[in-house]
Amino acid sequence: MRDCRQFYIDGRWVAPNEARDFTVLNPASEEPMAAISLGSAVDVDKAVAAAKKAFESYSITTPDERLAILRQIIEIYRSKMDDMAKTISEEMGAPISLSRAAQATVGLSHFLEVARILSYYQFERLQGSTLMSKEPIGVCGLITPWNWPMNQITCKVAPALAAGCTMVLKPSEIAPVSAYLFAWILHEAGVPPGVFNMVNGDGPTVGAAISAHPDIAMVSFTGSTRAGVAVAMAAAPTVKRVTQELGGKSANIILEDADLEKTVSEGVQACMRNTGQSCNAPTRMLVPRSKIAEAAAIAKRAAEVLKVGEPRLDDTGIGPLASKAQFEKVQHLIYKGIEEGAKLITGGCGRPEGIRKGYFAKPTVFSGVNNEMTIAREEIFGPVLCIIPYKDEDDAVRIANDTSYGLSGYVTSGDIARAQRVSKRIRSGNVHINGARLDFSSCFGGYKQSGNGREWGEAGLEEFLELKAIFGYGAQER
């Protein structure tokens, strides 16, 4: 079992102010895999003090100096890639194939993209005699989840470093070991003491202390909408900037001219990927009413060929859910779908056949779902797909937008112009046309209760900057 009970503060590994051990479980075996400490407000104070002191010098470094740090991190991250993939797979259950192809590599992708942007980004621009200057916002609190641990850590840390900010990271206590490895990467890369700090802990204690801290200028939070509301409320008295990437209930609109076999099969895979634990998963599949039975049959076949099992095996397609609490939530919502009259096509409650230990759920497909059912309204965060019929294009758009969330949308059509037209009507921060993949140079974030602010690309960098106007900067001397 790994001992990860120290915090990273001011360039050193330090003991917590008060010992509060927490055992991290491997969700596939339900056995302990690491021990961390749960921090306190005192530990947060120490980390913030180190970040505040380091900000004085780090905030005035040149872009070239910061770019050199990013490039060193990239080099070391590459050397630790396989260790990172194995760690993520062990701590939160992602199949090792997914960990190697996406979970670990996405962290490198964010650093590469931010380094590319920093190589050309203009922090100052003269507008007449006024200098428009973009400056680092200050000490940042970064609170990240367990479902894509490196994605969410690096898409915050990389732009914060590039902007000239210092920071305190609180990773999820459910999957903190990859963050521990990440802190070692930054230490080995020579990130100056105090620039990056990490305190483990739970949301009500460490998360709340970060959110409310008067010396933190910005909080970047990723997690549930419920927790995001708590962060915003704690941050409000100090009027700090809060950016949030929260929940989702994304609609996958399959128009009648789409290739149904291909699109439904791919939609099932996208929904079930990472055991359905992705905020942008296409969990509501909208299908023309006349094709609902055919779509359900295709989805059943696609779900039933997915291999659920031990994450360490190369041919595993779906691993366990990340925790007991998540397993119980998913089981409750599957039962709720059956109770409310949705038609269970495949899957259902309980573990898959032959599996008696671990937080494994059956890949589940419901048809006959209407948009008022609980499983169509709430974010399940598990391998559960809802197939919903629609009458026509306008009805599909109405159903897609009839949600409190607005993170992602998906539109498939044989007519690209039609798909483009429909995509512009979807009220979400991201829309995928005909299976288009994510673009790390673009932006990521949501409308409505899916959050505010943007991550990734230039938009993500600018969340960590303040815009200052200096009047008369370019004026002639008198």
Q: Which residues are catalytic?
A: 245, 279
CA distance 194 to 256: 56
Would you tell me how many other CB atoms lie within 10 Å of the CB of residue 31?
Answer: 12
∠ CA 385-393-259 to the nearest 5 degrees? 60
Burial of 215 (0-12, 13-18, 19+ CB in 10 A): middle
Which run of H or of E encompasses 271?
helix 260-272
∠ CA 155-161-162 to the nearest 5 degrees? 90
Report yes or no: 440 and 151 within 8 Å, Cβ to Cβ. no
DSSP 191: P
CA distance 193 to 52: 11
Which residue is listed with tokens 């927790």? 227
Which run of H or of E encompasses 336?
helix 324-339
Would you tell me how many other CB atoms lie within 10 Å of the CB of residue 442?
Answer: 14
Those residues whose C-beta lies under 8 Å from the C-beta of residue 436, and which sit 6 or more positions away, are none
Q: What is the CA radius of gyration of the chain?
A: 23
CA distance 441 to 31: 39
DSSP 477: P
Would you tell me how many other CB atoms lie within 10 Å of the CB of residue 82?
Answer: 12
CA distance 18 to 20: 6
Report yes or no: 387 and 295 within 8 Å, Cβ to Cβ. yes
